[in-house]
């Protein structure tokens, strides 16, 4: 398997202060953007600069992407002043539409070929009430919980929650124990069971580790919206809203304030970052 190092890979290494030789197995390593609240902005700033220079020198093909993705929002980083979240209006989600799934798959480079070992970062779940006939089509992905069970159970701390609420897997230290998959109530994580090819430089993946929706963190850090949200507004019913749950003026907060919404498995009190309306 070959895979260009990519700007995000450099991000993780810079953050940890370790070189490629110490990391080893770098062709299967993964990005770990902004891990802790403390000092993250500073680390990120240093990294973005280093990544940009490195990319310019070492990988001209990738450097364009580095500028495009990382350049737009250099000073932003992961801040606890934000809580990124999604609102999904299921009344606008068409059962036949899989634009969000296709966009996620295309952007992040995972493929569902119908095998039970295939990764699926997002899926459409057809939901119907057998007693009333009420039905909905619901995109389900990592719910980016405030009290994430995957983070709690991970023995090495590879599952972690960024200061801005995005839950990620640090695939440098994921040992592939799959305890997070046992603990996740949403079946949001996938284990990579075989070697992969044709990976995206900004979303490197690795055999033997666990992965899931990153809320398109490279895009978010670059000031963009996740690929699924963009695709939904462009090709779907405009059912998905992305934004800062802590900003009272954001579209997502206003929509949540105006209409009732639910969190999946709200009884578990996981404080999910993903909310649903119309369920």
Question: Which residues of this chain interact with another protein, rule CB under 8 A?
Answer: 25, 112, 114, 116-120, 123-130, 138, 140, 149, 151-158, 173-179, 181-187, 190-195, 207-210, 264-265, 268, 279
What is the token pair recorded at 252?
């997502």
Q: 50 or 173: whose CB is closer to another protein? A: 173
* Alpha-carbon dihedral sign for residues 8, 12, 17, 18: negative
Output the furthest CA–CA distance in the chain (Å, rounded): 63
Shorter beta-carbon distance to another protein: residue 160 or 242: 160
The answer to whether 3 and 202 are in contact (CB under 8 A) is no
In angstroms, what is the minimal distance from the CB of 6 to another protein? 20
Q: Which is nearer to another protein, 12 or 210 (CB)?
A: 210
Smallest separation, CB 274 to another protein (Å): 12
**Minimum CB distance to another protein smaller for 42 or for 194:** 194
Return the number of the residue (215 or 274) whose C-beta is nearest another protein: 274
Minimum separation from the CB atom of position 55 to another protein (A) = 27
Write the DSSP string, 57-108: HH-HHHHHHHHHHHGGGTTT---TT--EEEEEEGGG--TT--HHHHHHHHHH
Cβ of residue 49: shortest distance to another protein, in angstroms? 27
Output the smallest distance, CB 140 to another protein, in A: 7
Helix intervals (H) in the chain: 6-16, 20-23, 40-58, 60-70, 99-108, 149-153, 179-183, 217-221, 227-234, 251-258
């Amino acid at each position: 398997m070959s895979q260009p190092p990519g700007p995000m890979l450099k991000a993780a290494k810079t953050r940890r202060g370790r070189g490629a030789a110490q990391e080893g197995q770098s062709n299967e390593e993964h990005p770990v953007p902004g891990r802790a609240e403390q000092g993250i902005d500073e680390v990120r700033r240093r990294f973005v600069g280093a990544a940009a220079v490195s990319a310019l020198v070492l990988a001209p093909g990738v450097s364009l992407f580095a500028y495009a993705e990382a350049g737009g929002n250099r000073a932003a980083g992961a801040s606890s002043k934000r809580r990124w979240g999604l609102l999904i209006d299921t009344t606008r989600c068409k059962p036949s539409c899989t634009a969000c799934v296709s966009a996620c798959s295309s952007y992040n480079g995972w493929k569902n070929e119908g095998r039970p070992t295939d990764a699926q970062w997002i899926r459409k779940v057809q939901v119907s009430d057998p007693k009333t006939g009420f039905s909905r089509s619901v995109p389900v992905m990592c719910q980016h919980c405030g009290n994430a069970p995957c983070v709690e159970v991970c023995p090495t701390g590879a599952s972690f929650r960024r200061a801005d609420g995005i839950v990620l897997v640090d695939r440098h230290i994921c040992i592939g124990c799959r305890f997070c998959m046992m603990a996740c109530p949403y079946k949001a994580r996938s284990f990579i069971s075989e070697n992969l090819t044709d990976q995206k430089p900004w979303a490197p993946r690795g055999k033997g580790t666990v992965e899931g929706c990153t809320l398109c963190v490279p895009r978010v850090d670059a000031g963009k919206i996740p690929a699924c949200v963009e695709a939904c507004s462009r090709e779907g019913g405009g059912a998905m809203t992305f934004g800062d749950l802590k900003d009272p003026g954001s579209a997502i907060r206003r929509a949540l304030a105006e209409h009732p919404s639910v969190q999946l498995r709200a009884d578990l009190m996981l404080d999910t970052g993903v909310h649903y309306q119309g369920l």
